Amino acid sequence: MGKENKTIGLLYNGGRVDLDLKEPSVGPDVVDLKNFSAQTGLYTFDPSYSSTASCESYITYVDGTAGVLSYRGYPIEQLAQESTYLEVSYLLYHGELPTRDQLDVFRLKVKQNMLLEESVIKLFDTFPENAHPMSMLITSVASLSSIYHHDINVREPEDREAFFFQVLGKVPILAATILNHINKKTVGSYDEKLNYSANILNLFFGGIPNFEVNPVFSKALDVLLILHADHEQNCSTSSVRLAGSSGTNPYAAMAAGIAALWGPLHGGANEAVVRMFNEIKSKDRISHFIEKAKDKNDPFRLMGFGHRVYKNYDPRAAFIRATCHEVLDELGQDNNPMLELALALEEIALHDQYFIDRNLYPNVDFYSGIIYQALGLPKEMFTVMFALARVVGWATHWCEMMANPGLRIGRPRQLYLGPKKRNYIPLDQR
């Protein structure tokens, strides 16, 4: 006997509509509203998408109540502990873990794309000295659409795959170019002996005599990249999908995602957290800032705290906090004042009734900036590091979406509250 379709009945204006329930592989059922408007003449209202599944996806699963995150079914803790960023990238893109040979081919394809075209390099001469790194990242990624446009057919799997490897290879070089634009240095070089994350550190800080990548730092970076690689339909990924659904150039869609990531409520929080720590300064001032965060008349929020989906400890934050200790131990900074402040702030907030009642826990951005700072990065670069990791998630979601033959342009409706029809009054009669 076939599986019975589950439905949910809805009474409206004296009528009734039966809506199908879609069953996910894990998690709660999803009400199918695709034909709701056609059936009822009504729209649904969910302005910040708290109750809305915007697409079908096979990539990443988040259970916010339990504090669970997995990529293609593999728990994030196992991947962060045992895998590497490139292996995780392969997993996200292909859906399965690679064999050694498959990983070698994958690594080679990424490496072959680790170069920048002359016109993109020249673009950096036009940025003001104090340009924000995220502004430079948005602009330079968007500028790649001026080079890769005429030859890309977004409906062709080979073209999508070519884009995937291009973007994975180019964004680390762009990040290094941005950092060196700030530091007025030249970008270090790619070293065949180093893995992906060690190479990023080499591109950032190499190019000086006797520079060697510290393996504790490259491991920490790799863990950060894995933890940030994807997070289902967050603000930036949804921006990539929405922009991409029009069939636009994929670099333009990536730029939309990077733009969304920059905001302090999303990826920009990692920079905002360190600014907040600098403002708080010392443990004795924490309670003042906790009170400000609770005060509804004060716009201040505890940055790096709270999450739309996690109503439990963000599993990424726990891992990043442990990595933070490892990096600071390696630097001989086990009493690092910023980490001490962060730990004390977390402790106080987690025992405060306001934060308990609202299930507000540290998120992925709470501790990451302390690591980036210890690695030698200025705080304005932190969100670029987030983007560098998330590129694989955005590109995989874009590929998944574009491969769907049923793809339709994303086009939400609205609850219109403006004026009703009125007649135009000529200028001289007003």
Point out the residues that are catalytic: 307, 365
Q: Do the beta carbons of residue 315 and residue 69 sit within 8 Å?
A: yes
Interface segment toward ligand ACO; rule CB under 6 A; list 18-26, 115-123, 186-194, 300-308: 300-308
> Closest separation between CB of residue 306 and ligand ACO, Å?
2
Measured distance CA(277)–CA(380) in Å, rounded:
15
Measured distance CA(345)–CA(425) in Å, rounded:
59
> Closest separation between CB of residue 201 and ligand ACO, Å?
23
> Closest separation between CB of residue 266 and ligand ACO, Å?
4
One-letter amino acid at 191 equals D
Residue 142 phi, psi (nearest 5): -60, -35
Q: Do the beta carbons of residue 180 and residue 116 sit within 8 Å?
A: no
| Residue 324 interacts with ligand ACO (CB under 6 A): yes or no | no
SS3 414: coil
205 vs 310, beta carbon nearer ligand ACO: 310
Residue closest to 393 by CA, chosen among 66, 27, 23, 76: 76
Q: Do the beta carbons of residue 20 and residue 35 sit within 8 Å?
A: no
Burial class for 422, CB neighbours closer than 10 Å (0-12, 13-18, 19+): exposed
Residues 38-67 as x/- pattern, contact with ligand ACO by CB under 6 A: ------------------------------
- Positions in 223-252 near ligand ACO (CB under 6 A): none
116 vs 324, beta carbon nearer ligand ACO: 324
> Closest separation between CB of residue 276 and ligand ACO, Å?
10
SS3 259: helix
330 vs 352, beta carbon nearer ligand ACO: 352
> Closest separation between CB of residue 214 and ligand ACO, Å?
27
| Residue 107 interacts with ligand ACO (CB under 6 A): yes or no | no
Measured distance CA(379)–CA(373) in Å, rounded:
7
Nearest 5°: the CA angle 422, 428, 430 is 45
Burial class for 382, CB neighbours closer than 10 Å (0-12, 13-18, 19+): buried
End-to-end CA distance of the chain: 72
- Positions in 330-389 near ligand ACO (CB under 6 A): 358, 360, 363-365
| Residue 304 interacts with ligand ACO (CB under 6 A): yes or no | yes
69 vs 303, beta carbon nearer ligand ACO: 303
> Closest separation between CB of residue 300 and ligand ACO, Å?
8
Whose tokens are 């730029």? That residue is: 255
Q: Do the beta carbons of residue 316 and residue 377 sit within 8 Å?
A: no
62 vs 198, beta carbon nearer ligand ACO: 62
Residues 254-283 as x/- pattern, contact with ligand ACO by CB under 6 A: -----------xxx-x--------------
> Closest separation between CB of residue 138 and ligand ACO, Å?
17
Interacting residue with ligand ACO among 132, 170, 307, 397 (CB under 6 A): 307
368 vs 396, beta carbon nearer ligand ACO: 368
Residue, CB closest to ligand ACO: 306
Whose tokens are 């290094």? That residue is: 176
250 vs 306, beta carbon nearer ligand ACO: 306
Contacting positions for ligand ACO (CB under 6 A): 265-267, 269, 293, 301-308, 358, 360, 363-365
